[in-house]
């Protein structure tokens, strides 16, 4: 487990995930929780796999290297792959998007087209999400 005075750089991504898992209680119906590609939740009508991934401009992608369309495909593919790794098939995505006010609407629409095109082969679709103003482009997708 991570020491209280350690930094994220010292513990790393997997050390942080392990510490969060130890500090978090699984709720009712959680068959597979923190630490795998996706969580497996037991619902009254069956089971659902749920995963989420975030991509931040300058950390996970650069707009001078990739188009909005390519970034959209990459972000969607990460989520689709996590569900597939657990033996599932994605049905729905919820997309949260933050961007500076100066970003063109066309860029956001091209991002959306990339997400839609990546989902087409799975039969998945975007069913909702959130948009906010932010300093850097940030895309967070939850797949179900």
Write the pLDDT tens digit of every residue in 88-109: 999 999 999 999 999 999 999 9
The predicted model scores a pTM of 0.79
- The counts of H helices and E strands in the chain are 3, 6
With a CB cutoff of 8 Å and minimum separation 6, the contacts of 3 are: 11
Helical segments of the chain, H only: 8-23, 68-85, 105-120
Predicted confidence (pLDDT) per residue in 18-59, tens digit: 766 666 676 777 666 666 667 777 778 888 889 999 999 999
98 and 134 in contact (C-beta within 8 Å)? yes
Return mean pLDDT, the chain.
86
pLDDT of residue 17: 63
pLDDT at 3 over 60: no
């Amino acid at each position: 487990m991570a020491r209280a005075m350690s930094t994220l750089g010292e513990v790393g991504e997997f050390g942080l995930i392990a510490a969060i898992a130890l500090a978090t209680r699984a709720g009712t119906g959680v068959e597979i929780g923190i630490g795998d590609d996706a969580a497996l939740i037991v619902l009254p009508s069956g089971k659902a796999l749920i995963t989420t991934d975030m991509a931040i401009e300058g950390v996970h992608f650069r707009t001078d290297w990739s188009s909005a369309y390519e970034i959209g495909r990459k972000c969607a593919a990460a989520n689709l792959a996590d569900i597939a790794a657990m033996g599932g098939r994605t049905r729905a995505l919820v997309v949260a998007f933050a961007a500076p006010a100066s970003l063109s609407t066309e860029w956001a629409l091209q991002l959306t087209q990339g997400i839609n095109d990546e989902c087409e082969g799975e039969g998945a679709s975007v069913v909702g999400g959130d948009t906010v103003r932010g300093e850097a482009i940030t895309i967070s997708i939850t797949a179900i």
